[in-house]
Chains A and B, each alone.
Chain A
């Protein structure tokens, strides 16, 4: 059981380039999330989705776009990369946003992105 898979693990982008961070889960979770973690900071929510075809903004959505065409996949798109987007990006999923069960979110292993 793979859980949440993120690709690529590392990427260096030049300012103004674009890229898509891939995230897929095989647990049939309805809810998926994108977080970024800057050095010395906690995880900040970028976008989340409560099901296929439904997405919503988190705390720091500017500069990013998402889509959710299937239950399994939740890609994050950077259109015009900026140095401020240098960060580690984590994708996560859960059965429900109304977390009552003990397991909370399942996270991927992260994508380390550097914009130069």
Chain B
């Protein structure tokens, strides 16, 4: 029972273009969503988050959009840079719970 789904295992994008990573969730009790970035041989690092009371959060080149009715969120990276090549995990937290649930991740390749 996968509550946080990242259906694209990998994505390749040209340097300078927009990268869009998608995430779907099934549990309407989730109230906080996060994106983590992971390089090989390193732990995940926090990238950006969004509360369920918002539909957009922007931080520099990174923007997360939340569509609650569709139970869908997306991470936009503009413009994409070589250092953005990594695995991106979508994660979600249920209201009043102490832990977050991760998706399987999407590997992003930025092509020169």
**A residues engaging B (CB < 8 A)?**
4, 31, 33, 35, 40-45, 48, 50, 56, 58, 90, 92, 97-100, 102-110
B46 contacts A104, C-beta separation under 8 Å = yes
Complex: chain B residue closest to A45, CB-CB: B99
Going nearest first, the 8 A-B pairs with the smallest beta carbon separation are A97-B98, A107-B43, A42-B102, A43-B102, A104-B46, A42-B104, A109-B43, A104-B34
**How many B residues touch A, CB cutoff 8 Å?**
28
Q: Provide the residues of chain A in CB contact with B43, threshold 8 Å.
A: 4, 90, 92, 107-110
Given A107-B45, A109-B43, A50-B89 contact (CB < 8 Å): no
Q: Provide the residues of chain B in CB contact with A42, threshold 8 Å.
A: 4, 6, 89, 102-105
B99 contacts A48, C-beta separation under 8 Å = yes
CB of B100 within 8 Å of the partner chain = yes
Least CB distance, B24 to chain A, in whole angstroms: 13
